[in-house]
Chain A
Amino acid sequence: MAMANLLEVRGVSKIFRMGSLLSRVKLTAVDDVSFNIPADHPVILSIVGESGCGKTTLCKLVLRMYAPDMGDILLDGVSYQGKDATREAAFRKMVQPIFQNSFEAFSARKTVDSYLYNTALRLGIVKGRKAASELIDQTLSAVGMSLGVVRGKYSSQFSGGELQRVAIARALITKPRLIIADEPVAMIDASMKMNIVNLFKELKDAFNVSFIYITHDLSTAYYVSDYIATLYRGGLIEYGMSKEIMENAAHPYTRLLMDSVPTVGDKWTRDVAMSDIEEKEYAISYCKFAPRCSYATDECRAARPAMRTLEGGRQVLCNHPLTA
C-alpha cells in the first residue's frame, strides 16, 4: 500500500456559472487539481499564484465550503462525498481555517474569548467552562498571548497582529491535523508579519499540525513552506519542494512570477512580458499559459500538456520545462 496521506486532492474541479440568462459563462475556477499532504510528518504547503488563479476556491473546497464538481478529496482516507452530520463535527476538529481579515472573522459585537469558548465547548473538545479556560489559556500562550489579556475584550481592542494570533489560537483549540490559512498575513504590517509567519513554523512541530498556506506573497511562502504549489488560471502547474521551485522554477510562469517579486538585493534590469490576463483564458483547452509564454510551440497550442515528473519528484505541467 502506498504511503498514507493526510489529505488527498484527486482531480478536483470547481465550475462557477456566471452571467445573465442570455450570456451564460462557465468559469472553471479550479481545474483538475491533484496533490497530497503526507500523514507521517507535519508540513507547510504554500499555494501561490496571482489573483483569480483559484487559490481561495481551492481552500474552500478543502474546507468543505464548496462541493467539488468533479474529483474527490480524501481526508485521512475518508472521502468528502456522502458526509453526514456526525462526521461534520469530526471534520471540524481535524481541519480548521484562519482567514485573511481577522477583524471580519471576529464579530465586533461579541467578545473575542466567546469564540474561543464556543470552539472548545460546542465541538466537545472539553467539558465544562473551567476545563475550557485551561485549554484556551494553554493555546493562547502557544501564540504569545494569555486568557487574562484576551478575556472580555472586543476585536476592536486588538491590533491586527494580535487578533490574528487569537485566530490562530482558536484554530489550535481543536488540536487539528490541518490548518488552512488563507492570506493570513496580507493585512499585517511588515514589522509584525514575520512574528506570525514564524508562529506557523513553531506550531507545525509543537502541535503536529500541517498547514496549507495560501498567499500571493512569494517571499514569505519561500521562507515558511516545505512544499509549494503554483496555480495558474485554476490549474496546478508546478508542485514540489519549495526550495527547488523558488530557486529554480521549471514552469515558465513560475519563473516569471519569481522574477517579478520586488526583492531587496538585486535590481531589476530587463523588462518582463506583460500581456494582460483575460477571462477567456480560463476557457482555453490547451496550455492556459501559452498565449503569454515565450517558449510556447504548436504542441502547446494543440492540447493541454500532461503533468510530468522531473528529477527530484517535482511535478510540472509543461511541455518544455526550464532547466537551471
Chain B
Amino acid sequence: MIKVDHLTASYKTLDGNVVAVEDANFEIRDNEIFGVAGESGCGKSTLLKVLYDILDFPLQVDAGRVLFTGEKNGQPFSLETGGVRKAWWNHISYVPQAAMSVLNPIARLKNQFLDSIPPEDRGRETKEQTLDRVRAYLEELNLSSETLDAYPFQLSGGMRQRAIIALATFMHPSVILADEPTTALDVVVQRGILMLLMKLQKASRNTMVLVSHDLGVHYQITDRIGIMYSGRMMEIGKTVDLFQNPKHPYTAMLIDALPRVGDKRQRVGIPGSPPPLRNPPPGCRFAARCPKAKDVCRHDAPAFREVSQGRYAACHLLEGEDA
C-alpha cells in the first residue's frame, strides 16, 4: 500500500516557492492501477517524482511524507520518502514519458538490463544466465530477443517504450510508477502498450500508478482515479463510477468537455484557465472557473474528505452529502 500523508511539495525559485502539490492525502491500494489525471501544471508529475523519491533541487518536500508498505517474496518491506532510492528496480520502478531520452544511447540494451540488477544479486548467477532470463521475459512481452543486442536508436518508439517497460518490470517490483508512458506514441501503438501494462499488472498483482492527461486512457486501464487541479487533489474514486457520476464540478465539466467518436453533440470547454501556482488565490482553486461557486468557495479551501463510500472529493458544495 502507498500512503500519501498530507504531502506538500514545492519548487524553490528566486521569486519564491511554487507549490506544485499541496496537502495531498490519500491511499493507493495493493493490486490496483491507480490513475492520476489532470491538466498540465496540475502537479501530477511532481507527485510521481516525490513517490519515486527524485527530490533533486529545486524540488523539495515541505510537509508530509509517503509511506510504502508491502511484501515481496514473503519478505515485508516498508519504505519512506528519503529512503526509496535503495529499493529502485527491486521494489519500485519507474516508466518515464520520454522513451527517446531515457535509455543510454551508447549502450546496448543487454548492458542496460544487466545494470538494473541490484549489486547484492549479481553474484547469484552468471551474466549469461541473467540474459537468458531477460530473453525469456522479452519473448513474453512480444519483443524479439535480438533487441538485446541493439542500441536504442535502432528501435522504433513503440519498441523502445516496450523495452523500458520490460526493464522496469523485469525484477517484478511491487510498485510501478508510469508517467505518461504513451503520450508520444501513435494511438495504435499506445493501445498495445496500455494493454501490455494492464496484462503485466494482472499477472503480478502489483500496484501501478499511471499519470496521464488523457482521460480516455484512464478510463480504459485504471481501477481507481484521482483528479488533480492546480496542485490539489480534487476527487478520487473508482474509475467507472467517477466517469458516470462525477461529484466535483471540475471533474464533471472536464468529462463533459471530452469529444467522443460516435457522438457529435455540442461540447463546451471550461472557460478561463488554471490559477498561477506561485500565488494561488485563497479558497478553492477551481472557484474562479466554477459556475456553482459560492462565497465560501472563494475564501476557504475545502477539505478533501470521503463524500460517499470510497469516493473522496474537496468541494464545499458537497457539504450536505456526508458519508
Q: Does A192 count as interface, using CB distance less than 8 angstroms?
A: yes
Binds A, one of B6-14, B26-34, B190-198: B190-198
Residues of chain B contacted by A243 (CB below 8 angstroms): 264
Q: How far is the CB of A160 from chain B (nearest CB, A)?
A: 8
Please measure, in the bound complex, the distance between the C-alpha atom of A150 and the C-alpha atom of B102, giving whole angstroms.
Answer: 40
Please measure, in the bound complex, the distance between the C-alpha atom of A277 and the C-alpha atom of B260, giving whole angstroms.
Answer: 27
Q: Do B187 and A218 touch across chains, with their CB atoms under 8 A apart?
A: yes
Q: Do A194 and B257 touch across chains, with their CB atoms under 8 A apart?
A: yes
Q: Does B136 count as interface, using CB distance less than 8 angstroms?
A: no
Q: Does A51 count as interface, using CB distance less than 8 angstroms?
A: yes
Residues of chain B contacted by A191 (CB below 8 angstroms): 39, 253-254, 257, 269-270
Q: Do A189 and B40 touch across chains, with their CB atoms under 8 A apart?
A: yes
Residues of chain A contacted by B268 (CB below 8 angstroms): 194-195, 198
Please measure, in the bound complex, the distance between the C-alpha atom of A189 and the C-alpha atom of B266, giving whole angstroms.
Answer: 18
Q: Does B243 count as interface, using CB distance less than 8 angstroms?
A: yes
Name the interface residues of A262-307: CB closer than 8 Å to any CB of B: 262-265, 267-268, 271-272, 274, 276-278
Interface residues of B, count at CB 8 A: 40
Q: How far is the CB of A282 from chain B (nearest CB, A)?
A: 14
Q: Do A159 and B273 touch across chains, with their CB atoms under 8 A apart?
A: yes
Please measure, in the bound complex, the distance between the C-alpha atom of A268 and the C-alpha atom of B221, giving whole angstroms.
Answer: 9
Question: How many A-B contacts if CB must be within 8 Å?
Answer: 125
Q: Do A267 and B273 touch across chains, with their CB atoms under 8 A apart?
A: no
Q: Do B220 and A220 touch across chains, with their CB atoms under 8 A apart?
A: no
Please measure, in the bound complex, the distance between the C-alpha atom of A271 and the C-alpha atom of B199, giving whole angstroms.
Answer: 11
Name the interface residues of B218-268: CB closer than 8 Å to any CB of A: 219-220, 243, 253-255, 257-262, 264, 266-268
Residues of chain B contacted by A195 (CB below 8 angstroms): 268-269, 271
Binds A, one of B71-79, B208-216, B311-319: B208-216
Name the interface residues of B258-299: CB closer than 8 Å to any CB of A: 258-262, 264, 266-271, 273
Q: Do B269 and A193 touch across chains, with their CB atoms under 8 A apart?
A: yes
Q: Do B260 and A264 touch across chains, with their CB atoms under 8 A apart?
A: yes
Q: Does B186 count as interface, using CB distance less than 8 angstroms?
A: yes
Binds B, one of A25-33, A102-110, A128-136, A252-260: A252-260
Q: Do B192 and A216 touch across chains, with their CB atoms under 8 A apart?
A: no
Residues of chain A contacted by B273 (CB below 8 angstroms): 159, 161-162, 192
User: Which residue of chain B is the closest to A269 with respect to CB atoms?
Assistant: B195
Q: How far is the CB of A253 from chain B (nearest CB, A)?
A: 9
Q: Does A322 count as interface, using CB distance less than 8 angstroms?
A: no
Residues of chain A contacted by B158 (CB below 8 angstroms): 274, 276
Please measure, in the bound complex, the distance between the C-alpha atom of A176 and the C-alpha atom of B100, giving whole angstroms.
Answer: 39
Please measure, in the bound complex, the distance between the C-alpha atom of A298 and the C-alpha atom of B5, giving whole angstroms.
Answer: 62
Q: Do B187 and A50 touch across chains, with their CB atoms under 8 A apart?
A: yes
Please measure, in the bound complex, the distance between the C-alpha atom of A246 and the C-alpha atom of B261, giving whole angstroms.
Answer: 7
Size category of the A interface is 35 or more
Q: Do B261 and A261 touch across chains, with their CB atoms under 8 A apart?
A: yes
Q: Do B260 and A263 touch across chains, with their CB atoms under 8 A apart?
A: yes
Please measure, in the bound complex, the distance between the C-alpha atom of A243 and the C-alpha atom of B264, giving whole angstroms.
Answer: 9
Name the interface residues of B171-188: CB closer than 8 Å to any CB of A: 186-188
Residues of chain B contacted by A263 (CB below 8 angstroms): 216, 219-220, 260-261
A246 with B262: in contact, given A50-B187, A162-B273, A260-B188 (CB under 8 Å)?
yes
One of A50, A222, A271 near B195 (C-beta < 8 A): A271
Q: Do B261 and A219 touch across chains, with their CB atoms under 8 A apart?
A: yes
Q: Does A223 count as interface, using CB distance less than 8 angstroms?
A: yes
Residues of chain A contacted by B243 (CB below 8 angstroms): 264
A264 with B219: in contact, given A216-B187, A257-B188, A278-B156 (CB under 8 Å)?
yes
Residues of chain B contacted by A192 (CB below 8 angstroms): 269-270, 273
Residues of chain A contacted by B142 (CB below 8 angstroms): 274
Please measure, in the bound complex, the distance between the C-alpha atom of A237 and the C-alpha atom of B258, giving whole angstroms.
Answer: 27
- Chain B residues with CB under 8 Å of chain A are 39-40, 142, 156, 158-159, 186-192, 194-195, 213-217, 219-220, 243, 253-255, 257-262, 264, 266-271, 273
- Chain A residues with CB under 8 Å of chain B are 50-51, 159, 161-162, 189-198, 216, 218-220, 222-223, 243, 246-247, 256-265, 267-268, 271-272, 274, 276-278
13 contacts between A and B (CB under 8 A): A50-B189, A161-B273, A192-B269, A192-B270, A195-B268, A197-B259, A222-B262, A243-B264, A247-B262, A261-B187, A267-B219, A268-B191, A276-B189
**What are the 7 tightest A-B residue pairs by CB atom distance, in nearest-first order?**
A262-B216, A195-B269, A50-B186, A189-B39, A274-B192, A194-B269, A223-B259
